[in-house]
Amino acid sequence: MTRALLLRLLDEAFDHRSWHGTNLRGSIRGLTIDAASWRPKAGRHNIWETVVHAAYWKYAVRRRLLGEKRGSFPLEGSNWFIRPVKGVEAVQQWRSDVRLLTDMHRALRQAVADMPEKALHARGRGPFDNLSLVTGIAAHDLYHAGQIQILKRLRRQ
């Protein structure tokens, strides 16, 4: 029961229909490169950076659930990654980063699906149990989905 509920939370926060409105994947659907890279103010994060940030934390939670070491995220760095990448490859890089988000979600979802029920309640490294990590990353997706919706509205003003 716990695993099924966690998978449902992950899915609704990321890309499945839910009562609360737009989820993370839905918040970026159809975005142009200009919209994804727009900043509300110098020094503030844009939607594109938020997407890569969300991908990174899906990776970090999966890594913690599986007890893996750091260092296997496809991009150098951690937490926040400066975007957009300059040049004519920007559109390709945006698409690649959206794929990265989807890939990190699928890998996280698979890790939760494969965990023994008992392990979902266990504590790994750090102060939080695995259940808290999974519910937390779902909340993280929804937080950033709302943030992206606000950024899109601010840009239109």
Q: Looking at the DSSP assignment, which residues form a beta bridge with residue 129?
A: 123
Q: Which two tokens stand for residue 27?
A: 């918040």
- Candidates 135, 104, 142, 149; CA nearest to 6 is 135
Radius of gyration of the chain (CA): 16
Q: How far apart are CA 2 and CA 119, in angstroms?
A: 11
Identify the CATH number of the domain in which residue 132 sits.
Answer: 1.20.120.450
Q: Which two tokens stand for residue 30?
A: 């159809």
Question: What is the pTM for the complete model shown?
Answer: 0.94
Residue 157's pLDDT band (boundaries 50, 70, 90)? low
Range of the domain at 40: 2-156
pLDDT of 1: 61
Give 25-60 pLDDT, tens digit per residue: 999 999 999 999 999 999 999 999 999 999 999 999
Q: Which two tokens stand for residue 98?
A: 């959206």
The count of domains in the chain is 1
Q: What value does the mean pLDDT of the chain take?
A: 92
Residue 84's pLDDT band (boundaries 50, 70, 90)? confident
Q: What percent of the chain has pLDDT over 90?
A: 75
Q: Which two tokens stand for residue 63?
A: 């890594």
Could you tell me if 12 and 26 are in contact, meaning their C-beta atoms sit under 8 angstroms apart?
A: no
